[in-house]
């Protein structure tokens, strides 16, 4: 198993009363698998993604259970050991490609950054070559020009491709995608989904795909987790969940999918 | 109210400092422990003690009494400076911001240069034209403070003038005058209030600087800045002569800064 | 920019023109005869029409000739050129101190935001901001000159004689000028850093395995400095003003002394020249700030170009 999440829970302590936002979560993810997590906003799906990437704040927050990445517990690791994983083994892309990139740093430097940290043996030329390779691999035309651009010079879809390139450049085993297409137009959305599928096949990278959009989850995932109010409602292979949902909540979610999307 | 003060130490200390100094100013208007110009050879450089809590200067004058008087003039000068600066700034800024056009362009060009010019230098130049003395210094500082107020008010008025409520007031037939003063100005009051408070502090600092340079309140009247410049020659024999007037300025500025900070914080919590 | 400088020059010249009092009369004293006043007026060129004098003054300025001092009878340019390095050096040291100290302190405060140290720093900051630079100068010269005896008040050494000793003497005055501005920029930079730290690209940077320090230095700092550039640009002008006052505290014969003396003596050619010079510095600073802005923020380049 690449990733095992056991009895995982999150409790916020930043107000007067502690607030449980994720509870008793159990699931696992195999090498090369695409797992979709679906739920409404506030279901705890994004927080789960951030926790696996080791990006939850250390203060004001209590984490329970275990998140085992190749047997090591991400929740209880030293910060320095965690940083070794981040950007190298575990990567993440976010919802807003507009704000997820540093506005005053050239694209090239941002794509190379993970290499700079984790592959100190690479020289500048090798890094650049690798970065350009990935910029081409995410189907960006004119990769050299993009390499020297600033984020504001690119469209939203291009920026999300840049984010994917920056995440994949270190050759990770797990890519966490937190609503990666929500901020994009429908056509761009479809392209990004196909891109992620292709990368998954070619690189054998496991993808944790977090979304509120069931139809997207159905297109991309092998297995699905349905979450509601911090709890796991149902999990299983994607076709099984769609053809014979057991829980009421899942049925309601499926019923709410607009027809047009299902016909695609 | 008390609970609010406890949660907001800035406001608490700001109120205390400003309150104490204001009290000293008010008392100083009617009564000082010693006449401020009374010299006494016996008390020359008397150290702070029960008779003279801040000690005495080179002529044996009571420093506490002179601080009371000096604080009063600083206070009044700063007050009028801000008054002149803000009233003219509001007039110029709101007219420019509301009507725009060529005059606005030209005025703001000049304004920008004046704005980036340090106000104490500007005041120095104006004083050199008008001559020294407290009235002239107030006038000079007041004029020197106009650009910053005009700039702030202009940009705020410009922002407000583009909003829908101004358009609808126009449609109802309100005059330009009415729109500016009845509709727009109340909406920029919070911004104006905080810049008035900052302006007051800058005015205190500038006044102290000018009177330190010997421009401003003229002897024999006491002024904090001039006391400091005189005290400098006697730093070794009578350090208290410099320290007390200096601390008074610090306390005045600090109190007001804390008050301003506390009020914006309180305002943020309320909204 | 040249147009603005021209406008400033005109305003300054005109302002000194409309004030009551005749320079020739004030130079000769009030009991001078009418003939001698008229003779001096001709000699000084005061009998020519206003615009003629303005343009001849202006052309002079462009050639580096700022006229002749009324009270010293020396060319103004020479007087100023000699004193300019002193004030500029002091402002420069202050500026370097201000930036050099405030950036690390602000980073430290932002990194430990909300902690006891952060709150302590904040209070200290508030206090320092309230201290007038000249009082700080007095306190420093008392502490280092009289209590610790590390420093001789009034022991100014000309930069022509011994540049090292000159710089050493300038350190304390520069600290006095810099500290209040430094406190202000710590406050601004700290909040700018915290505002940047909430943005999403910071989370992206963390997801690549950067440490907090790396995130702060490589990503946050540059973005947080952008709003500070304006403040620092304006601080330069304030520091020149501050230097002029603090020079008096430390008895430094810089531009401040000339300005104050000539104001007292109504020596207008000197006052005009000093003001014009400071205006030039202010305008150059504005230009520098604009350039820096464009260097720091690639988004602006697009809009302008």
Among candidates A86, A103, A152 on the partner chain, residue whose Cβ is nearest the Cβ of C209: A86
d(CA C134, CA C247): 9
DSSP string, B191-239: HHHHHHHHHHHHHHHHHHHHHHTT-SSPTTS--HHHHHHHHGGGTTT-H
* Percent helix / strand / coil, chain B, rounded to 5: 80, 0, 20
DSSP string, chain C: -HHHHHHHHHHHHHHHHHSSS-HHHHHH-TT--HHHHHHHHHHHTTTS-HHHHHHHHHHHHHTT---B-TTT-SBHHHHHHHHHHHHHHHHHHHHHHHHHHHHHHHHHHHHTTTSHHHHHHHHHHHHHHTS-HHHHHHHHIIIIIIIS--S-TT----TTT-HHHHHHHHHHHHHHHHHHHHHHHHHHHHHHHHHHHTSHHHHHHHHTT--HHHIIIIIIHHHHHHHHHHHHHHHHHHHHHHHHHHHHHTT--SHHHHHHHHHHTT-HHHHHHHHHHHHHHHHHHHHHHHHHHHHH-HHHHHHH-
Nearest CA to C246 out of C100, C144, C94, C96 is that of C94
Q: Do C4 and B229 touch (CB under 8 A)?
A: no
Q: What is the mean pLDDT of residues C38-52?
A: 70
Contact A31, A4 (CB under 8 A): no
Q: What is the mean pLDDT of chain A?
A: 88
Q: Quick: pLDDT tens for A85-98.
A: 898 899 999 988 88
Give me A35's structure tokens.
């797992």
Q: Quick: pLDDT tens for A122-170.
A: 899 999 999 999 999 999 988 999 999 999 999 989 999 999 999 999 8
pTM of the complete model? 0.84
Cβ-based contacts of A154 with chain C (< 8 Å)? none
Chains C and B touch (3+ CB pairs under 8 A): yes
Q: Do A87 and C207 touch (CB under 8 A)?
A: yes
Strand-pair partners of A90: A86, A174
d(CA C126, CA B257): 8
pLDDT for B271 equals 47
C84-304 folds as: MetI-like fold (1.10.3720)
Nearest CA in chain B to C6: B110
Tokens 């600033």 — which residue?
Answer: A150
Q: Do A100 and C203 touch (CB under 8 A)?
A: yes
pLDDT above 90 as % of chain A: 39
Calculate the alpha carbon distances from B10 to A237, C119, C130, C185, C188 in Å. 59, 12, 14, 19, 18
Q: Please, which residues 37-76 of chain A have a Cβ atom closer than 8 Å to chain C? A: 53, 55
Query: How many residues in chain B?
Result: 271
Q: At what angle do helices B119-130 and B185-212 cross, to 10 degrees?
A: 70
- Within a 10 A sphere around the Cβ of A122, how many other Cβ atoms? 15
Cβ-based contacts of A81 with chain C (< 8 Å)? none
Nearest CA in chain A to C223: A104
d(CA C108, CA C112): 6
Hey, is the C-beta of C188 within 8 angstroms of any chain B C-beta?
no
Cβ-based contacts of C209 with chain A (< 8 Å)? 83-88, 114, 117-118
pLDDT for C28 equals 61
Cβ-based contacts of C135 with chain B (< 8 Å)? 208, 228, 242, 246, 249-250
Residues 6+ apart with CB under 8 A from C39: none
DSSP string, B67-118: HHHHHHHHHHHHHHHHHHHHHHHHHHHHHHHHH-HHHHHHHHHHHHHHHHS-
Contact A160, A138 (CB under 8 A): no
Among candidates C199, C209, C299 on the partner chain, residue whose Cβ is nearest the Cβ of A114: C209
Q: What is the mean pLDDT of chain C?
A: 82
Q: Quick: pLDDT tens for C194-224.
A: 999 888 899 999 999 898 888 998 899 989 9
Hey, is the C-beta of A166 within 8 angstroms of any chain C C-beta?
yes
Q: Do B113 and C279 touch (CB under 8 A)?
A: yes
Q: What is the pLDDT along chain B (271 residues), one digit of tens a residue?
A: 566 666 788 888 888 888 888 888 888 888 778 777 777 777 777 778 777 878 888 777 888 888 888 898 899 999 999 999 999 999 998 888 888 888 888 778 777 777 777 888 888 888 877 777 788 889 989 988 998 899 899 988 888 888 888 888 888 888 888 888 888 888 888 888 888 988 999 999 999 988 888 887 777 788 888 888 888 888 878 888 888 889 999 999 999 889 888 887 776 655 4
Given a cut of 50, whether residue C304 has pLDDT beyond it is no
Domain extents for chain C? 2-62, 84-304
Cβ-based contacts of C10 with chain B (< 8 Å)? none
Hey, is the C-beta of A101 within 8 angstroms of any chain C C-beta?
yes
Contact C156, C165 (CB under 8 A): no
pLDDT for C202 equals 92
Nearest CA in chain B to C248: B213
Q: Quick: pLDDT tens for B2-31.
A: 666 667 888 888 888 888 888 888 888 887
Looking at domain B75-270, what is its CATH homologous superfamily?
Answer: MetI-like (1.10.3720.10)
Give me B71's structure tokens.
């604080």
Q: Which of the four pLDDT bands, split at 50, 70 and 90, describes residue A177?
A: very high
pLDDT for B268 equals 63
Tokens 């990368």 — which residue?
Answer: A199
- b/e map C266-293, b = 16+ CB within 10 Å: bbbbbbbbbbbbbbebbbebbeebeebb
pLDDT for B84 equals 94
Q: Quick: pLDDT tens for A2-50.
A: 999 988 988 888 777 788 888 888 999 999 899 999 988 888 888 999 9
pLDDT for C305 equals 36
Given a cut of 80, whether residue C300 has pLDDT beyond it is no
Q: What is the mean pLDDT of residues C176-188?
A: 92
Q: Do A100 and C204 touch (CB under 8 A)?
A: yes
Given a cut of 50, whether residue A264 has pLDDT beyond it is no
- Element of type H or E holding B22: helix B9-30
Given a cut of 50, whether residue C240 has pLDDT beyond it is yes
> Is the ipTM of this structure higher than 0.95?
no
């Amino acid at each position: 198993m690449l990733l095992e999440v056991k009895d995982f829970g999150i409790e916020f302590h930043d107000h007067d009363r502690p607030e449980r936002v994720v509870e008793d979560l159990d699931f696992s993810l195999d090498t090369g698998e695409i797992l979709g997590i679906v739920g409404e906003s506030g279901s705890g799906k994004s927080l789960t993604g951030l926790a696996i990437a080791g990006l939850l704040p250390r203060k004001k927050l209590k984490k329970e259970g275990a998140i085992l990445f190749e047997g090591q517990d991400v929740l209880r690791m030293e910060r320095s050991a965690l940083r070794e994983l981040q950007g190298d083994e575990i990567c993440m892309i976010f919802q807003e490609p507009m704000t997820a990139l540093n506005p005053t740093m050239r694209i090239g430097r941002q794509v190379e950054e993970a290499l700079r940290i984790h592959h100190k043996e690479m020289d500048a030329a090798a890094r650049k070559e690798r970065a350009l390779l990935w910029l081409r691999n995410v189907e960006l035309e004119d990769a050299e020009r993009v390499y020297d651009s600033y984020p504001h010079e690119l469209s939203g879809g291009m920026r999300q491709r840049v984010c994917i390139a920056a995440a994949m450049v270190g050759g990770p085993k797990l890519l966490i995608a937190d609503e990666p297409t929500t901020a994009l137009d429908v056509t761009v959305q479809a392209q990004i989904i196909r891109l992620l599928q292709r990368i998954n096949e070619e690189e054998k990278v496991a993808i944790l795909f977090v979304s509120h959009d069931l139809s997207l989850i159905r297109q991309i995932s092998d297995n699905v987790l349905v979450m509601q109010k911090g709890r796991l409602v149902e999990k299983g292979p994607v076709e099984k969940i769609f053809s014979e949902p057991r829980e009421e909540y899942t049925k309601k979610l499926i019923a709410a999918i607009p027809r047009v999307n299902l016909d695609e | 109210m008390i609970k609010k003060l406890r949660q907001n130490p800035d406001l608490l200390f700001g109120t205390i400092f400003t309150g104490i100094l204001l009290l000293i100013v008010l008392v100083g208007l009617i009564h000082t422990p010693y006449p401020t110009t009374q010299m006494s050879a016996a008390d020359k450089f008397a150290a702070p003690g029960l008779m003279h809590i801040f000690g005495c200067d080179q002529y044996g004058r009571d420093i506490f009494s002179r601080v009371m008087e000096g604080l009063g003039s600083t206070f009044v000068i700063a007050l009028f400076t801000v008054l002149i600066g803000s009233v003219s700034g509001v007039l110029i800024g709101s007219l420019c911001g509301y009507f725009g056009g060529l005059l606005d362009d030209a005025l703001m060009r000049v304004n920008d240069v004046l704005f980036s010019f340090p106000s104490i230098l500007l005041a120095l130049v104006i004083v050199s034209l008008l001559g020294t003395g407290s009235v002239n210094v107030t006038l000079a500082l007041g004029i020197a403070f106009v650009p910053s107020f005009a700039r702030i008010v202009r940009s705020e008025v410009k922002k407000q003038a583009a909003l829908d409520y101004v358009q609808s007031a126009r449609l109802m037939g309100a005059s330009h005058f009415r729109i500016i003063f009845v509709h727009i100005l109340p909406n920029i009051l919070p911004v104006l209030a905080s810049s008035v408070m900052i302006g007051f502090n800058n005015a205190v600092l500038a006044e102290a600087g000018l009177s330190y340079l010997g421009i401003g309140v003229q002897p024999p009247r006491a002024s904090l800045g001039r006391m400091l410049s005189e005290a400098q020659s006697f730093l070794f024999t009578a350090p208290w002569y410099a320290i007390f007037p200096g601390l008074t300025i610090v306390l005045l500025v600090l109190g007001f800064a804390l008050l301003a900070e506390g009020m914006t914080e309180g305002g943020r919590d309320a909204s | 920019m040249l147009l603005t400088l021209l406008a400033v020059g005109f305003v300054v010249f005109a302002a000194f023109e409309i004030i009551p009092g005749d320079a020739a009369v004030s130079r000769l004293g009030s009991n001078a005869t009418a003939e001698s006043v008229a003779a001096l007026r001709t000699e000084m060129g005061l009998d020519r029409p206003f615009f003629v004098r303005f343009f001849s003054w202006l052309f002079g300025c462009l050639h580096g000739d700022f006229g002749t001092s009324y009270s010293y009878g020396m060319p103004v340019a020479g007087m100023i050129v000699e004193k300019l390095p002193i004030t500029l050096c002091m402002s420069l040291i202050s500026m370097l101190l201000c930036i050099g100290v405030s950036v690390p302190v602000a980073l430290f405060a932002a990194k430990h935001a909300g902690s006891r140290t952060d709150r302590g720093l904040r209070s200290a900051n508030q206090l320092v901001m309230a201290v007038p630079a000249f009082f700080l100068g007095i306190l420093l010269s008392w502490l280092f000159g009289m209590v610790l005896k590390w420093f001789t008040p009034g022991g100014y050494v000309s930069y022509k004689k011994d540049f090292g000793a000159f710089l050493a003497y300038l350190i304390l005055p520069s600290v006095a000028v810099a500290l209040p501005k430094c406190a202000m920029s710590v406050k601004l930079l700290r909040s700018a850093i915290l505002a940047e730290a909430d943005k999403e690209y910071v989370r992206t940077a963390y997801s690549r395995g950067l440490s907090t320090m790396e995130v702060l230095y490589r990503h946050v700092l540059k973005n947080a400095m952008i709003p500070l550039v304006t403040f620092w640009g304006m601080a330069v002008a304030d520091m020149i003003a501050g230097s002029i006052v603090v020079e008096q505290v430390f008895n430094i014969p810089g531009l401040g002394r000339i300005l104050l003396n000539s104001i007292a003596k109504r020596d207008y050619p000197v006052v005009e020249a000093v003001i014009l010079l400071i205006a030039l510095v202010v305008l150059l600073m504005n230009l520098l700030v604009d350039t820096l802005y464009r260097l720091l923020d690639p988004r602006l380049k697009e809009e302008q170009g």
